[in-house]
Amino acid sequence: MEDSAGFLSNLDSTSPGSYSFFSRSRLWHDFLSVQRQTAILLEGELRSTIAYPRIIPRPLREKIAELIALEILFGQPYEIKDTERFIETFGAFYPIFLTLKNSRPWPKLQKIAKRSRGAGVACLKLLLPLIYDLMERYSTIQNRVSEKGLLKELDAETEAILREFEKILNQTFLLRKSSYSDDFSARSFQGSNHLSGQPDLYESVLDFMQQDGIQAFLDGIMEGLYSRMQEFISEMEENLDLFDTLSLLFPGRSWSYSVKELKKEPFYVQLKTLKSYSVFFEKNPDLRKIINFIGRREFEPPAERIRYSPFGKNRIQTVRFSDSINNLLPMEAAKLLNPSLKRKFYADMLEGKLLSYQMLGKHYTGPPRIKPRGPMIALVDTSGSMHGTPQTLAKSAVLAMAKLMLSQQRDMKVILFASTSQHLEIELSNRKKMSERFLNFLLYTFGGGTDFNTALASGLKSLKEKDFQGADLLFITDGKSEISDELVLARWEEAKKKYNAKVYSLIVGGSGAGGLSQISDYTYIVEMEQDPEGNGVIVKLIETRETE
C-alpha cells in the first residue's frame, strides 16, 4: 500500500549541511508518523471507499488515496522530483493530479481539512470516488459519445485528445493489473512494458501532455468534479463547526459529506440549537478566555529527561580561565577601573586567561512533553433563576468545554442539578458516550429550585470514580444558594488534596460565589450585557478571584 521510496525522496529537498542530525531525526520522526496515520486511515475510515469494486485496479486506487490524503488531510504537498517514476506509478493520473493541484478549490479543501479532521475525511470520501469515476468514464471509447455535455463541443481536436486520454488510461489500468508488486518499483513497470509489447507509459503520458489544447480538455472533463467540490466547500464553510462537533460526539458514525443530509436526521432541531450555542461562544472573547484557561494543557517534562549540563546556569562548579565576560570573577572586572590594569584585562581576554566561574545546572535534554490535564466534571445549575440569558451562557460554556475535552481525548461528565429531585448525569468518556442525551440537554429549559448540597455530594461521588479520579470540577451557577452541609465541605477539602483536583466556579450575574467560595480555587464572576449593536447579549468578565 505504501511506496516509501517515492515519498521518502521528498526528504532530500534540503541539503545535508543545512540542518543538524537532531533536526534530521525530528524530520524522519514526523514523516514516519504521518505515514503511519495515512496507513491507518486507508485501512480504517477510507477502506470502504477504496475497496468498492471498480475497473481501476485496487493498487492504483490505494496509491491515489494515499497521495490525496497526504496532500489534503495531512498538509504534506507532494513534490514530483522524478517525473518518470511518478508516471510509471500513477500513469494517467499524472495530468489529473497536476490539474487538481492548480485548481481554485484545492487550497480551500486543504484549509477546511486543517481546521477539522472530520471534515477532511468527509472531503476524501467525496473526492476519491469522483476521481475514480472520472478515470473510468473515459477509459473506454463506448462512453465517449455520452460525455458531450461535459466537453461542451466534441470537435476534431478534442476528439484526438480524447482518444489519447483513453489510450493512456487503458494502458495504466493494464499495467497496474499485470505488474503490481508490494513496493510498486519502477523496475517492475518497465519490465511489464517490454513483456506486453506496448509503448512505454512514460512516453505516452508525456506525448499526451504536449498536445495543444490539453489544459482546456482537462478543465472540461473535470468541470463536474470542480462543481461538486465547490458545493462541498460552501456547505463546510457555513457548517464546519457543526460537522466537527458531530464528529466528536459520534466518532464511530460515518457522517455523510453533505450537511443538508445531516439536517434530515431526526435530531435536526438539536443541530440548529448546537450551532446557535457555538456561535454565541465564538462571539464572546471573555467566555473563550475562561474556558481555554480551564482546559489548558501543562508542560511537564519527565524526571529522566533532566540532566546536569553546562547549559544550565544555576550552580557554580569551579573557577577556570576563559575569554567570556558573562561569568567574570569580581576581581577581574575590577581591573577595568585601573588605567594600567585595563590593558592587562584586554590582553587576558584575547588570550582566554580571564578568571571566570564555570556554571553547571539542571538542563532538559529534549523538548518538554505535553502532559494533558485529566478529566473534567461540569456541574450546571438548572434552577429557575438561571432561566434566560444565564441559561444560554451555561449551555454555550458546557458545549465549548465538551468539544475541547473530546478533541483532547479527555473524559468529561456533566451533572445537571436544581432541587433535590432534579438531578441528571451525562457522561462523555471513551467508555460511555451519552451523546444523544447531551444534545437533549441543549434543548432543556431550566427551572426549579437549587440544592447545592446534593450537587456537591454528586460531584464528590464522581470524583471517586475510577475514570474521574484526579478530575477538575467546573461549577456554573448564579451563586444564589448557600451550602449548609458542613460535612460535605470537609469531605471536599479532603478529596481535593487526595486527588489533586481544582475547582473552578463560573458565577453568572451574581456578586459572589456564595458557599462555593469555600472550595473554589478559581472564581470567575461574569455579567450579561446588551450588545450596543443590538445583536443580542455579550458576556463581560467582571472579576477573577484565585484562592491562595
Kindly state whether residue 255 falls inside one of the protein's structural domains.
no
- Cα separation, 463 vs 14, in Å, equals 51
pLDDT band at 315 (very low <50, low <70, confident <90, very high): low
Q: Are 423 and 444 in contact (CB under 8 A)?
A: no
- Cα separation, 62 vs 3, in Å, equals 10
Q: Are strands 370-371 and 472-477 parallel, antiparallel or unpaired?
A: unpaired
Mean pLDDT of 450-473: 81
Residue 362 has pLDDT above 70, yes or no: no
Kindly state whether residue 348 falls inside one of the protein's structural domains.
yes
Most confident of 94-98, 388-392, 422-426: 94-98
Q: What is the mean pLDDT of the chain?
A: 77
At which of 216, 232, 248 does a domain end?
Answer: 232
Q: Report how far Cα 1 is from the mean position of its chain's Cα atoms.
A: 25
DSSP string, 259-296: HHHHTTSTTHHHHHHHHHHHHHHHT-HHHHHHHHHHT-
- Cα separation, 214 vs 76, in Å, equals 27
Cell digits of residue 343: 590593558
pLDDT band at 3 (very low <50, low <70, confident <90, very high): very low
pLDDT (0 to 100) of residue 455: 79
Domain range holding 201?
4-232
Most confident of 269-278, 401-410, 483-492: 401-410
Among 10-19, 130-139, 538-547, the range scoring the smallest mean pLDDT is 10-19
Kindly state whether residue 272 falls inside one of the protein's structural domains.
no
Provide the domain count of the chain: 3
Among 20-29, 127-136, 239-248, 424-433, the range scoring the smallest mean pLDDT is 20-29
Among 7-11, 93-97, 183-187, 398-402, the range scoring the smallest mean pLDDT is 7-11
22 and 159 in one domain? yes
pLDDT (0 to 100) of residue 8: 33
154 and 29 in one domain? yes
333 and 212 in one domain? no
Backbone angles phi, psi at 79, to 5 degrees: -95, 120
- Cα separation, 386 vs 378, in Å, equals 16
- Cα separation, 69 vs 78, in Å, equals 11
206 and 102 in one domain? yes
350 and 223 in one domain? no
Residue 527 has pLDDT above 90, yes or no: no
At which of 209, 232, 255 does a domain end?
Answer: 232
- Cα separation, 60 vs 57, in Å, equals 6
189 and 133 in one domain? yes
Q: Report how far Cα 466 is from the mean position of its chain's Cα atoms.
A: 28
Kindly state whether residue 243 falls inside one of the protein's structural domains.
no
Kindly state whether residue 71 falls inside one of the protein's structural domains.
yes
51 and 69 in one domain? yes
In the chain the first and final C-alpha atoms are separated, in Å, by: 57
452 and 389 in one domain? yes
48 and 193 in one domain? yes
Kindly state whether residue 322 falls inside one of the protein's structural domains.
yes
Residue 320 has pLDDT above 70, yes or no: yes
pLDDT (0 to 100) of residue 331: 87
412 and 312 in one domain? no
R_g over Cα of the chain: 32
> How many CA atoms, within 13 angstroms, populate the side-chain half-sphere of residue 5?
10
398 and 356 in one domain? no
Q: Are 210 and 160 in contact (CB under 8 A)?
A: no
At which of 364, 389, 412 does a domain end?
Answer: 364
Kindly state whether residue 273 falls inside one of the protein's structural domains.
no
Q: Are 168 and 201 in contact (CB under 8 A)?
A: yes
Under DSSP, is residue 316 helix (H, G, I), strand (E, B) or coil?
Answer: strand
Model-level pTM? 0.63
pLDDT (0 to 100) of residue 12: 38
Q: Are 91 and 60 in contact (CB under 8 A)?
A: yes
10 and 154 in one domain? yes
Kindly state whether residue 117 falls inside one of the protein's structural domains.
yes
Residue 477 has pLDDT above 60, yes or no: yes
pLDDT tens per residue, range 79-90 = 888 899 999 889
Contact residues for 309 (Cβ-Cβ < 8 A; gap 6+): 360, 361, 362, 363, 365
CATH number of 401's domain: 3.40.50.410
Cell digits of residue 7: 515519498
Residue 152 has pLDDT above 70, yes or no: no
pLDDT (0 to 100) of residue 183: 43
Cell digits of residue 392: 444560554
